[in-house]
Structures are given as structure tokens and as C-alpha cells.
């Protein structure tokens, strides 16, 4: 029996390729071996994502990011010292995606007709999955790199279709995770342009105040690409029940993420061990269950794994070696009482239904 197709709505592929210097076209064991003696980052030798593993797990469609943060003077966060430098980094990341396209490894998707064609390819069982390109929808995680609003139009022209205003810390368009405060004046103007261009707004990483403003000011399609539940993990990065209700009312989909600190309140970055705390893939289903209880159905949950978001196996569920193990959710969800149609929705159909509405 063929594995179900999976859509993952949040991967930082180009950041890993350019800043981590990972050749994601190569097998995972080879990437890990190259990093065996490197100590510059906690996840060296522990990566979980590459293009062959995506194919192995039938993750045929991803939302792939550009990510380059501007860091103002006095901030302790890593980032670029000017918006122009941040923009240049996003263009290096774009160049990597273009190289993957030239190699036949990936294909960019910007409209529904192209997406339908790509789905037909992945549903063609006569062609081996190993021979199929990974489809990607380009998203900008944090808008800092847009030097001014005219740069949004440049990005849309090269295929950017989704965007979040903020990331971590202070932002030029909106403050982000671990911050408080409203969307900036520039951010409010940017929201108008995002809506005019018919782009998808990603509410992930907004402050609570910014979240409320975004839903009030933005009339277009929005999603939460990688977000878990604050009732289970009570920190500002996760969604409150009221925020979940508002997203459901807007027809949004919420992608569950597999970073251990977003799954279990006990986990502390660079200190805790997933195995010792017994943090498993099933922990994410607790978050999904909570959203389903609010929604009354399984039509608003999906996968936004963030599995290459500056962490590896040291900060992932212990029963997951690579992104191909997303397929394990089928048995987990069945055991938890989810029907086949629910599993199809979670694996791919909820994102696809959303995109059909947004792009048609």
C-alpha cells in the first residue's frame, strides 16, 4: 500500500543550505558525517531534513522559507546589521532554490494550476517517488528583509506567496516571539499590500497584540504555519484558545510543530533530553486533539514541522530520526481514534483545501 502524501507547511530549507552549509540533495547520513566534528551549532551531525528523506516520507509539497532577520543595535539576537544585508541573504537563499530547480530536485509552485499538475505527478504510482521533485511554495518568515514595501512587489514577482511579519525579538514590521507590543506603522501598510497582492499572511511569531491587530486589519487568507497550543505549553509562542477560535472562524489551518519545547512544557533548550523526558511524536497529537475539540472537527490541523528550524534530533521527539518518520503519525492517529478521512486531512488535504480557496 502506498504511503499517504504529506504536506509540510514550514521548513527552512534554504537557511540550512546556505548558513549551515548543508547539501540537502545528498543522503542524510552523508550530511551528518560531514558535520561529525563540527561544534559551532548544537544540531551539527543531528539534522533530520534533506530532499531524499522528504521523498522517502512522501512529503511531496512543502512551504519553504526565506529567513533573514535584522538585528537593531543592543539586541542579543543573531541577525543582520542592516535591512539591505538581510535582503541580500534572502536572495542567496532564493538562488539556492533556483539551483535545486535546475537540478530537477525541486519545483516552485505559485498558482493552483501548477499545484494540481504537481499533485497529479505525486499521485502517479507508475513513477517512483525517488524520481519526483519536491514542490515548494515560497514563504518569507519575518518581513525584516523587505527594505521598504516596494520590495514586497519584487518578492511577489519571483514567486513569494506567503509572508509573516515577525520572527523572534524586535522587528521592523512587527515585534515577534518573546516580545510584547503592536504591529508597527510600516507593518500596517505592509498588511495592505499583502492583501492587495492576494498573498497568504502567516500569523506565526506575532505577539498577542499583533495577532489581534493582524486579524482586524487583514481581510485576506491567513494561516498559522507552525504553532502549538498554549493550554498545554503555556508560553507566548503558542496559541491561546481564543486565538484558535478566531483562526477557525477565518477558515485558517494550524500546522503542528515538532520542536520539543513547543510540545512539552518541561523541555528546556540545550539542557533537556527528549528521551529522558519521553517526548514522542504522539505528544503533538495532544495539541491537535485540543484544537479539534474547539473546532468540532479535524479540518483545521495539519503539519508545519519546523524540523530544520535551528535544531535536530537533540530537540525532536525521540522516536523520530528524520522527517520521513512523519509517516508514523498514521498509526498514532488511528490509535487515538482518528478516521482515515481525518488522517488524509491532517497529512495533506487541509492545506490543499486552504490553498484551493486562496488561489482560486
Instruction: Tally the domains of the chain.
Output: 1
- Mean pLDDT value of segment 257-279: 96
Confidence of residue 77 (pLDDT cuts 50, 70, 90): confident
Angle at 247 between CA 192 and CA 337, to 5 degrees: 150
pLDDT in tens, 182-205: 999 999 999 999 999 999 999 999
Q: Are 304 and 10 in contact (CB under 8 A)?
A: yes
β-pairing, 301-303 with 254-256? parallel
- CA separation (Å) from 225 to 159, 205, 301, 306? 18, 10, 10, 9
DSSP single-letter state for residue 59: E
3-class secondary-structure state, position 243: helix
- Mean pLDDT value of segment 139-167: 98
pLDDT of residue 55: 98
- Mean pLDDT value of segment 262-269: 95
337/285 Cα distance (integer angstroms): 11
Q: Residue 1 above 80 pLDDT?
A: no
pLDDT of residue 2: 75
pLDDT of residue 225: 98
pLDDT of residue 256: 98
- Mean pLDDT value of segment 59-65: 98
Angle at 281 between CA 200 and CA 24, to 5 degrees: 60
User: How many other CB atoms sit within 10 Å of the CB of residue 254?
Assistant: 29
Q: Residues 31-63, buried b or exposed e (16+ Cβ, 10 A)? A: bbebbeeeeeeebbbbbbbbbbbbbbbbbbbbb
- Closest listed residue to residue 215, CA positions, set 248, 180, 170: 248
3-class secondary-structure state, position 177: strand
**What percent of the chain is predicted at pLDDT more than 90?**
97
Q: Has residue 342 been placed in a domain? A: yes
Helix (H) or strand (E) holding 92: helix 83-102
Domain interval for residue 83: 6-359
Q: Has residue 133 been placed in a domain? A: yes
Confidence of residue 110 (pLDDT cuts 50, 70, 90): very high
- Mean pLDDT value of segment 16-20: 97
Q: Has residue 1 been placed in a domain? A: no
**What percent of the chain is predicted at pLDDT more than 70?**
100
pLDDT of residue 276: 97
Confidence of residue 76 (pLDDT cuts 50, 70, 90): confident
Q: Residue 147 above 60 pLDDT?
A: yes
- CA separation (Å) from 321 to 8, 35, 46, 53? 17, 16, 9, 10
pLDDT of residue 217: 98
- How much is the pTM? 0.97
User: How many other CB atoms sit within 10 Å of the CB of residue 179?
Assistant: 18
- Mean pLDDT value of segment 17-36: 98
Q: Has residue 228 been placed in a domain? A: yes
Residues near 346 by beta carbon (within 8 Å), at least 6 away in sequence: 288, 298, 301, 302, 303, 329, 333, 338
Q: Has residue 293 been placed in a domain? A: yes
228/92 Cα distance (integer angstroms): 30
Q: Specify the range with the lowest mean pLDDT, choosing from 63-72, 74-83, 103-112.
A: 74-83
The sign of the dihedral angle between the CA atoms of 132, 13, 6, 112 is negative
- Mean pLDDT value of segment 251-275: 96
- Mean pLDDT value of segment 301-329: 97
3-class secondary-structure state, position 60: strand
pLDDT of residue 75: 86
Q: Residue 161 above 80 pLDDT?
A: yes
Q: Has residue 232 been placed in a domain? A: yes
Q: Has residue 44 been placed in a domain? A: yes
Q: Has residue 18 been placed in a domain? A: yes
Grid cell 505559485 in the structure block, residue = 110
DSSP letters of 96-163?
HHHHHHHTTSEEE--SHHHHHHHHHHHT-TTS-GGGSPEEEEEEEESSTT-SSTHHHHHHHHTTEEEE
Cell numbers for 59: 512529503
pLDDT of residue 270: 86
The CATH number of the domain holding residue 73 is 3.20.20.140
Amino acid at each position: 500500500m502506498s504511503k499517504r502524501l504529506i504536506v509540510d507547511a514550514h521548513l527552512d530549507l534554504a537557511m540550512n543550505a546556505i548558513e549551515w552549509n548543508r547539501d540537502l540533495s545528498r543522503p542524510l547520513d552523508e550530511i551528518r558525517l560531514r558535520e561529525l566534528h563540527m561544534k559551532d551549532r548544537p544540531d551539527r551531525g543531528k539534522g533530520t531534513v534533506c530532499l531524499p528523506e522528504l521523498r522517502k516520507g512522501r512529503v511531496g509539497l512543502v512551504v519553504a522559507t526565506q529567513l533573514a532577520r535584522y538585528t537593531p543595535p543592543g539586541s542579543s539576537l543573531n541577525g543582520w546589521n542592516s535591512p539591505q544585508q538581510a535582503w541580500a541573504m534572502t536572495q542567496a537563499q532564493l538562488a539556492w532554490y533556483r539551483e535545486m530547480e535546475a537540478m530537477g530536485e525541486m519545483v516552485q509552485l505559485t498558482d493552483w494550476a501548477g499545484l494540481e499538475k504537481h499533485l497529479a505527478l505525486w499521485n502517479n504510482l507508475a513513477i517512483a517517488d525517488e524520481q519526483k521533485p519536491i514542490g515548494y511554495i515560497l514563504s518569507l518568515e519575518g518581513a525584516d528583509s523587505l527594505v521598504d514595501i516596494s520590495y514586497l512587489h519584487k518578492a511577489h514577482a519571483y514567486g513569494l506567496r506567503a509572508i509573516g511579519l515577525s520572527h523572534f525579538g524586535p522587528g521592523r514590521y512587527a515585534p515577534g516571539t518573546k516580545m510584547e507590543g503592536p504591529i508597527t506603522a510600516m507593518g500596517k501598510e505592509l498588511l495592505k499590500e499583502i492583501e492587495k497582492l492576494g498573498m497568504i499572511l502567516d500569523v506565526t511569531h506575532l505577539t498577542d497584540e499583533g495577532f489581534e491587530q493582524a486579524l482586524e486589519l487583514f481581510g485576506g487568507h491567513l494561516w498559522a504555519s507552525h504553532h502549538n497550543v498554549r493550554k498545554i505549553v503555556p508560553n507566548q509562542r503558542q496559541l491561546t484558545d481564543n486565538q484558535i477560535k478566531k483562526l477557525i472562524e477565518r477558515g485558517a489551518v494550524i500546522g503542528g510543530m515538532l520542536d520539543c519545547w513547543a510540545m512539552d512544557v518541561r523541555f528546556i533548550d540545550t539542557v533537556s533530553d527528549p528521551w529522558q523526558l519521553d517526548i514522542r511524536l504522539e505528544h503533538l497529537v495532544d495539541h491537535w486533539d485540543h484544537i479539534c475539540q474547539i473546532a468540532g472537527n479535524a479540518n483545521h490541523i495539519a503539519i508545519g514541522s519546523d524540523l530544520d528550524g535551528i535544531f535536530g534530533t537533540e530537540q525532536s521527539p525521540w522516536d523520530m530520526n528524520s522527517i520521513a518518520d512523519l509517516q508514523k503519525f498514521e498509526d498514532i492517529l488511528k490509535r487515538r481514534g482518528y478516521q482515515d478521512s481525518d488522517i488524509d486531512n491532517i497529512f495533506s488535504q487541509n492545506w490543499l483545501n486552504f490553498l484551493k480557496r486562496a488561489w482560486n
